[in-house]
Amino acid sequence: MGKQEKIVSMFNDIAGTYDVANRVLSMGIDKSWRNKACNKAFELYGNKQIEKIVDVACGTGDMIIYWEKVAKENGIDLQNVVGVDPSVGMMEVGKKKLPHVEFIEAGAADMPLDSDSADIISISYGIRNVVQRQEAFNEFARVLKKDGLVVINEFTKNKKEKLLDHVTDFYMNKILPTLGGMISKNKEAYTYLPNSIDEFLTTENLCNELKNAGLEPVHVKAFSMNISTLIIARKI
């Protein structure tokens, strides 16, 4: 089993408890991170009519709920949101929450979607699980319309400069695996998650990889003691 297959099978295994674990582990703050990402993206896109948003590594559909909610709050006519994920187990949970949404089983680097068809592509806390990251960004650029946006929320590795950075590190590496393991009965999965934020997953590297794909970062912001970073890039 290759690395990508192993990751997918692990997510299939924890799918049923994933939402609860996520809320507990992020202490609910991921809600505000997701909200901010949607609001900022709509502001930067500046269009009141949006044909299609594609949420990649959509899992159980959390980010899709935010796209729909924030579009409504901003008076945006959002016609279609599509969820893409290689884990069928996670999407089964999503389909129960969002029966009106189309979910497609696919990896980020190879999506069965038309070129120049999406206004926005988002990936929240999922880019670290994509083994072929540069290929995925190239694929995002293919599927996006010109001037379309890629919206990335991710835990990124940044230089440990302050005491708080070490607190964050301790939480990710010690507390998260124990708590996540207790909730999901799969400690391996939650030990993998902090380890998956590898040394290449810095904000700087992500921005360079996006640029290589013809996606120009237009907004970069770190939240909550640098635990989470929002990167928005435009297809040029």
The token pair that represents 79 in the structure block: 């016609």
Q: Beta strand pairing status for 77-78 and 49-50?
A: parallel
Residues near 171 by beta carbon (within 8 Å), at least 6 away in sequence = none
Q: Is the dihedral of CA 203, 208, 213, 219 positive or negative?
A: positive
**Nearest alpha-carbon partner for 30 in 153, 158, 199, 118:** 153
Q: CA triplet 2, 4, 5: central angle to 5 degrees? A: 65
The answer to whether the beta carbons of residues 126 and 61 sit under 8 Å apart is: no
Give dist(CA 177, CA 193) in Å, integer: 8
Binding positions for S-adenosyl-L-methionine are 60, 85, 124
- Residues 116/89, Cβ–Cβ less than 8 Å: no
Write out the E strands in the chain.
Answer: 49-50, 53-56, 77-78, 81-85, 102-105, 118-124, 144-155, 215-223, 228-235
Q: Which residues are annotated as a binding site?
A: 60, 85, 124
